[in-house]
Chains A and B, each alone.
Chain A
Amino acid sequence: MTKPLRLLAASALVLAAGLAPAWAQRTDVTVAMQLEPPHLDPTGGAAGAIDSVLYSNVFEGLTRFTESGEIVPGLAESWEISEDGLTYTFRLREDVTFHDGTAMDASDVKFTLDRARAEDSTNAQKQLFASIESVEVVDPRTVQVKLAQQDGMFLFNMAWGDAVIVAPESIGEIKSQPIGTGPFRFVEWVQGDRIEIARYEDYWGEAPALAEATFKFISDPTAAFSAMMAEDIDAFMAFPAPENLPQFEADPRFQVLIGSTEGETILSTNNAQPPLDDRRVRKAIAHAIDRQAIIDGAMFGYGTPIGTHFAPHNPAYVDLTEMSAHDPERARQLLADAGYADGFTTTLKLPPPSYARRGGEIVAAQLRAVGIETEITNLEWAQWLEEVFTNKNYGLTIVSHTEPMDIGIYARPDYYFQYDNPEFQALMEELNRTTDPDTRTEMLQQAQRIIAEDYVNGYLFQLAMTSVAKSGLRGLWANAPTQAVDLTGVYWED
Chain B
Amino acid sequence: MLRYTLKRMASLAVSLAVASLVIFLVVEVAPGDPAAFMLGINAQPETVAALRAELGLDVPKWQRYLDWVGGMLTGDFGTSYTYRTPVADMIADRLQVSLPLALYALALSTLLAFPAGIYAAARRGKAGDLAVMGATQLGVAVPNFWFAMMLVLLFSINLGWFSAGGFPGWEEGLWAGMKALTLPAIALALPQAAILARVMRSSLIDILGEDFMRTARAKGLTRRQALWRHGVRNALIPVLTIIGLQFAFLLAGAIIIEQVFYLPGLGRLIFQSISARDLIVVESVVMLLVFAVIVVNFLVDLAYAAVDPRLRSRT
Contacts and interface: CB of A to CB of B under 8 A. Distances in A.
B165 interface: yes
Interface of B: 30-34, 36-45, 47, 50-51, 53-54, 82-85, 90, 93-94, 149, 152-153, 156-160, 163-167, 169, 259-265, 268-269, 272, 275-277
Given A1-B158, A126-B47, A192 B265 contact: yes
Contacts of B83: 38-39, 175-176, 191
Interface centre among A8, A13, A39 (most CB of B within 10 A): A39
Given A223-B261, A230-B163, A409 B42 contact: yes
Contacts of B157: 226, 229-230
Given A124-B43, A226-B149, A216 B166 contact: yes
A121 B50 contact: yes
A122 interface: yes
A146 interface: no
Interface of A: 1, 5, 8-9, 12-13, 36, 38-39, 45-47, 119-127, 175-176, 190-194, 216-220, 222-223, 226-227, 229-230, 232, 380-383, 385-387, 389-390, 399, 401, 403, 406, 409, 414, 416
8 A-B pairs closest in CB distance: A46-B40, A192-B264, A382-B32, A38-B82, A230-B164, A226-B164, A193-B264, A230-B156
A191 B159 contact: no
Nearest to B34: A382
Contact of A385 (B37, B93, B263): B37
A450 to B, nearest CB: 21
A269 B274 CA distance: 28
A389 to B, nearest CB: 6
Given A46-B41, A124-B38, A216-B262, 19 more contacts: A9-B160, A12-B160, A123-B47, A124-B43, A127-B42, A176-B83, A191-B264, A192-B93, A192-B272, A193-B262, A216-B166, A227-B165, A230-B163, A382-B34, A382-B275, A382-B276, A382-B277, A385-B36, A390-B33
14 contacts: A1-B159, A5-B159, A38-B38, A45-B40, A46-B42, A47-B38, A124-B38, A124-B40, A175-B84, A193-B264, A223-B261, A382-B36, A386-B36, A390-B33
A216 B50 CA distance: 32
Contacts of A46: 38-43
A479 to B, nearest CB: 20
A357 to B, nearest CB: 15
B50 A220 contact: no
A9 B164 CA distance: 16
A191 B276 CA distance: 15
Given A126-B47, A127-B44, A223-B165, A230 B152 contact: yes
Contact of A223 (B32, B41, B262, B269): B262
A12 B159 CA distance: 10
B189 to A, nearest CB: 20
B47 A124 contact: yes
B262 to A, nearest CB: 5
A190 B169 CA distance: 9
Contact of A386 (B33, B44, B85, B264): B33
Contacts of B152: 226, 230
A39 B82 CA distance: 7
A186 to B, nearest CB: 15
Given A12-B160, A175-B84, A385-B33, A122 B39 contact: yes
A193 B167 contact: yes
Nearest to A192: B264
Nearest to A416: B41
Nearest to A220: B259
B139 to A, nearest CB: 22
Contacts of B259: 219-220, 223
Nearest to A123: B47
A1 B47 CA distance: 57
Contacts of A226: 149, 152-153, 156-157, 164-165
A386 B32 contact: yes
Nearest to A124: B39
Contact of B262 (A1, A217, A381, A406): A217
B41 A232 contact: no
A38 B273 CA distance: 10
Given A38-B276, A191-B90, A227 B37 contact: no
Nearest to A30: B166
Contacts of B34: 382
A123 B166 CA distance: 33
B275 A380 contact: yes
B37 A382 contact: yes
A216 B259 CA distance: 13
B67 to A, nearest CB: 22
Contacts of A380: 32, 275
Contacts of A190: 93, 169, 264
Contacts of B37: 381-382, 385
Given A39-B84, A191-B264, A229-B164, A126 B38 contact: no
Contacts of A218: 165, 262
A405 to B, nearest CB: 11
A150 to B, nearest CB: 22
Contacts of B45: 414
A47 B37 CA distance: 9
A414 B167 CA distance: 46
Contact of B51 (A119, A122, A217): A122
B53 to A, nearest CB: 8
A232 B164 contact: yes
Contacts of B165: 218, 223, 226-227, 232
Given A222-B260, A389-B36, A230 B160 contact: yes
Contacts of A47: 38, 40
Given A175-B83, A193-B166, A385-B32, A122 B42 contact: no
Contacts of A175: 83-85
A264 to B, nearest CB: 12
